[in-house]
Amino acid sequence: MESKGDFRAPVSQTPHTIEKPKDTSTIGGMISVEINEKKISVPLGTTILEACKMAGITIPTLCHHEDLCVAGVCRICVVEVQGMRTLQASCAFPITSPIKIRTSTPMVRKARKHVLELLLSEHYGECYACFRNGKCELQFLAKEYGIDQYTFGHVTEPQFEIDNSSYSVIREMSKCVLCKRCVRTCIDLQEVGVLEAIDRGDKTHIGTFLEKPLADVICINCGQCINRCPTAALRANDPSDEIWAAIDDPKKHVVIQTAPSPRAAIGEEFGLGAGHSMTRELNTALRRIGFDKVFDTNFTADLTIIEEGTELIQRLYKALVKKEQVALPQFTSCSPGWVKFIEHYYPEYLDNLSSAKSPQQMFGALIKTFYAAKAGIDPADIVSVAVMPCSAKKFECNRPEMNDSGYKDVDFGLTTRELARMIKEAGINLPEMPKSNFDSPFGEASGAGLIFGATGGVMEAAIRSVVEFVLGKKAEDIFEKANIIPLRGFDGIKYMEIPIGDMVGPVPKLLQSLVPNWDWLKGATLKVAVAHGTANAKKIMDDIKAGGKFSECHFIEFMACPGGCIGGGGQPIPTTPEIRRLRAQAIYSEDESLELRKSHENPHVVKIYQEFLTEGPCSHLSHKLLHTHYVKRGRYIA
């Protein structure tokens, strides 16, 4: 691997598919095919699988995933193509000529059953003792194909040791079906590349660099592999037993913060379609489970905007007015997967990372200081849980530097999936819960904090505040309804310029100790960019290294996960582009329904700067509690 040099992760097999023509109206652009004697017309290059879907025919799949390049390895999706001796994998077969397809012949059904029976013969474990029970693609197919015995046997001993070295991702390769979705995710989607097929023949297995435990390689803990694994071979490191224990311990004061993305997705675990926000139902459910207080992470998202925005203004002021050497563009730091990625791959750019902690960790530090004092509780008795869409948050809260309150700032990171299970275990049907509000003293937060969940959201929240600070105008006067559309949507990389012009406003009180006026920004153009998925982050970083367009940006939002947090590694499975779109939609419409949509207008934020962080943003105390530092890590080994 080292010899590959350069910054690229090893590439996975190139997806050798035929490109679809942009214009299907050209001659040959559409091909007519016959599926089970039904004729349909499809664009050239459509796969048989896609064509069948169009024709309303379901083909079973296992290695295929909408987010990933074609693999064609499980062979469950085979169909007959007239004139071809062998069956064809429908997920991998691009249609380039008129063909006749049959999807349910005796040969096809037999082959599919054989594939399943073979997989099950090597599959260790029983479904009733498995966290994917009821949500497993292998189990689902076995049921669908009426597998009622192990024709070719069934292993009774695990073939691999469980790797639970990582705070975030547990690997149980005895349950792996070698679909390589995780490999393609890690290499293509994330360009991290810590997972690879190793050995061949019957010894083939998915392993890590030099077969080291996951904690010792450059895994960024994003959990994207978990979200795409069809079985229980990959799962998050679940702390719910410890959380139950804390809840059951009368001496402990157990508080929980909920991030916006889990709220937008947890309904999926209770049978709702994607895109139903459950924020207030969740508050009630959490109290019924036994959490003593329920807080809204968006509060510290708002705080993040103030701290990170202030930091940006400081950097710009230093660079433009004082002519000091400062690291620009400033990078966001709220995605712990991204933070670990840059620590491994671009350690020379750590100064560009905002020193502001993520909302989760800011909240952790405030709960065990500000809140503890206010509520008169010994912070040693507080157990602080964070519900996050993310598996990397588990790693983040265990970073040794995250104890600025004098205690472990956040005790447990809990994923959406794990929380849903706890709620079910408590016998609660979430969608039926009455609605209730968050607890004081943090109360409700702004819509700006809410949209942190979708790619572009942090930037949008920041810009809403920055334009009001600098221009002295309402964000609504600049962007319709304060929605900053160019920063929304799922393009891998988004870019936007905001000209400041000659009309600047007065410096708001909060920032008066930092800058005398805005005259120095007159005529400037603020350049920002957004990337989600570390493969896209890599593109921007390489461009910056080469001195390209992005090196002229002032502020760049990076999220490790495709789609941002709504697509996080702790979110309900499955994940598809459509599901992520619906989750984002839920967040944006909730934001639009709120009165309060700008971080700096959040009265609780204003109050905390009056009562607690009295020296203002980026001051000494705020630096102690709300900011952090980063570490350089190796390129191949953690």
* CB nearer another protein, residue 73 or residue 265: 73
* CB nearer ligand SF4, residue 233 or residue 353: 233
CA 590 – CA 276 distance, rounded (Å) = 10
Torsion of CA 445, 252, 379, 393, to 10 degrees: -50
x-or-dash string of contact with another protein, 8-37, rule CB under 8 A = --xxxxx-xxx-------------------
61 interacts with, out of ligand SF4, ligand FES, another protein, none, CB within 5 to 8 A per kind: ligand FES
Q: Does 289 bind ligand SF4 (CB under 6 A)?
A: no
Q: Name the residue type at position 243.
A: I
Exactly one of 12, 47, 61, 221 binds ligand SF4 (CB under 6 A); that residue is 221
Q: Does 78 bind another protein (CB under 8 A)?
A: yes
List, in order, residues 6 or more apart from 287 with CB less than 8 Å away: 294, 436
159 interacts with, out of another protein, ligand SF4, ligand FES, none, CB within 5 to 8 A per kind: none
Instruction: Verify whether residue 481 is a known catalytic residue.
Output: no
Q: From the CB of 59, what's the least distance to ligand FES, in Å?
A: 8
* CB nearer ligand SF4, residue 12 or residue 354: 12
* Residue closest to 182 by CA, chosen among 165, 168, 172, 194: 194
* CB nearer ligand FES, residue 136 or residue 410: 136
- Active-site hit among 168, 354, 384, 391: 354
561: its two tokens: 């996960």
Instruction: Verify whether residue 137 is a known catalytic residue.
Output: no
231 interacts with, out of another protein, ligand FES, ligand SF4, none, CB within 5 to 8 A per kind: ligand SF4
* CB nearer another protein, residue 116 or residue 504: 116
CA 56 – CA 36 distance, rounded (Å) = 11
Q: Does 339 bind ligand SF4 (CB under 6 A)?
A: no
- Active-site hit among 393, 394, 494, 538: 393
Q: Does 437 bind another protein (CB under 8 A)?
A: no
Residue 342: how many other CB atoms lie within 10 Å: 26
Instruction: Verify whether residue 39 is a known catalytic residue.
Output: no
Query: How does 26-57 read in b/e, with b if 16+ C-beta sit within 10 Å?
Result: eeeeebebebeeeebebbbbbbbbbbbeebeb
580 interacts with, out of ligand FES, ligand SF4, another protein, none, CB within 5 to 8 A per kind: none
Binding to another protein in span 147-206, by CB under 8 A: 151-153, 177-178, 180, 196-197, 199-204
177 close to 205: Cβ distance less than 8 angstroms:
no
Exactly one of 54, 57, 118, 130 binds ligand SF4 (CB under 6 A); that residue is 130
- Active-site hit among 63, 176, 186, 565: 565
CA 318 – CA 10 distance, rounded (Å) = 40
* CB nearer ligand FES, residue 178 or residue 428: 178
Torsion of CA 233, 236, 240, 241, to 10 degrees: 50
CA 317 – CA 272 distance, rounded (Å) = 49
577 interacts with, out of ligand SF4, another protein, ligand FES, none, CB within 5 to 8 A per kind: none
Calculate the alpha carbon distances from 241 to 237, 247, 254, 379, 396 in Å.
11, 10, 14, 21, 20
Exactly one of 178, 410, 511, 587 binds ligand SF4 (CB under 6 A); that residue is 178
Enumerate helices (H) and strands (E) in the chain, giving the number of each: 21, 17
Strands 412-415 and 493-499: unpaired
Q: Which stretch binds ligand SF4 (CB under 6 A): 47-55, 176-184, 322-330, 376-384?
A: 176-184
583 CB-contact burial (10 Å; exposed 0-12 / middle 13-18 / buried 19+): buried
Binding site for ligand FES (CB under 6 A): 61-64, 72-77, 89, 91-92
Q: Give kind and range of the element (H or E) at residue 459.
A: helix 457-471
- Active-site hit among 268, 308, 460, 468: 308
Residue 559: how many other CB atoms lie within 10 Å: 32
Active site residues: 308, 311, 334, 354, 393, 396, 401, 565
Residues in contact with ligand SF4 by the rule CB under 6 A = 123, 125-127, 130, 132-133, 136, 138-139, 169, 175-182, 185-186, 190, 192, 194-195, 206, 219-225, 229-234
